Structure 1
Amino acid sequence: MSGGTFELHVFTDASVKAYGAVVYLRNTISRESALTISKSRVTPVKPLTIPRTELMGTLLGARLIKFVYSSLNEQINIDKCVLWCDSQIVLHWLQNNKKLPCFVQNRITEIKTNAIINEYRYCPTNDNPADILSRGITPCQLSNNTLWWYGPQWLKFGDWPVCEIFVSRVLHVSDESTPTNTHKVTDKHTTEIIGIANVINASNYSSLNKLLRVSAYVMRFIHNIKAKKQDRHLSTLTAREINSAEKMWIHDAQIHACPSEIKVLSIKQKSTSPLAHQLRLFLDREGFIRVGGRLHNAPVNCDTKFPILLPRGNHFAKLVVTAAHSNIKHSGSQATITHIRQRFWIPQIRPFVRSILRNCVVCRLVCGKPYRKPIPAPLQACRLRNAPPFTVTGVDFTGAVFVSVEKSERKAYICLFTCAVTRAIHLELVMDLSTDTFLRAFRRFAARRSLPSKIISDNGSTYLSAAKEIQKLFESASIQNYFANQRTVLHTKTCPLVWRIWGETYWYDKNIPQKSPRSRLCVC
Structure 2
Amino acid sequence: MNNRTWWNGPSFLQQGSENWPDLPTSFDVESANAERVKNSTTIVHSLVTTSRQVATPNIDLEAIISPERVKSSQRSEENLTAEGISKAKQIWTKTVRMQCFPQEWKELTKGIKEVRMKQIILYLDTQGIIRCKGRLGESSLSEGANNPILLPAKHKYTTSLISEYHKVVHHNGIRETLNAIRQTYWIIRGCESVKKVIRRCVLCLKFEGKPYTSSVQPDLPGERVSDGLPFIHTGVDFAGRLYVQSNSQQRKVYLCLYTCASTRAVHLEITEDLSAVSFLQSFRRFTSRRGLPSTILSDNAKTFKSASAEIKKIVRCEEVQTYMVNNQIQWKFIVEKAPWWGGFWERMVGITKRCLKKTIGRSTLTFEELRTIVVEIEGTINNHPLTYMYDDVEGVSQPLTPAHLIYGRQIIKGPSQRQFEIPNANKSLTRRAKYQFKLLNDFTRQWRREYLLGLREHSNCSREGHGQSRRTTVKPGDIVILKDDLTHRIW
Would you say same fold, with TM above 0.5? no
Bin the TM-score by the shorter chain: 0.3 to 0.5
Taking structure 1 as the reference length, what is the TM-score of the superposition? 0.38
Higher share of residues assigned strand: 1
Taking structure 2 as the reference length, what is the TM-score of the superposition? 0.40
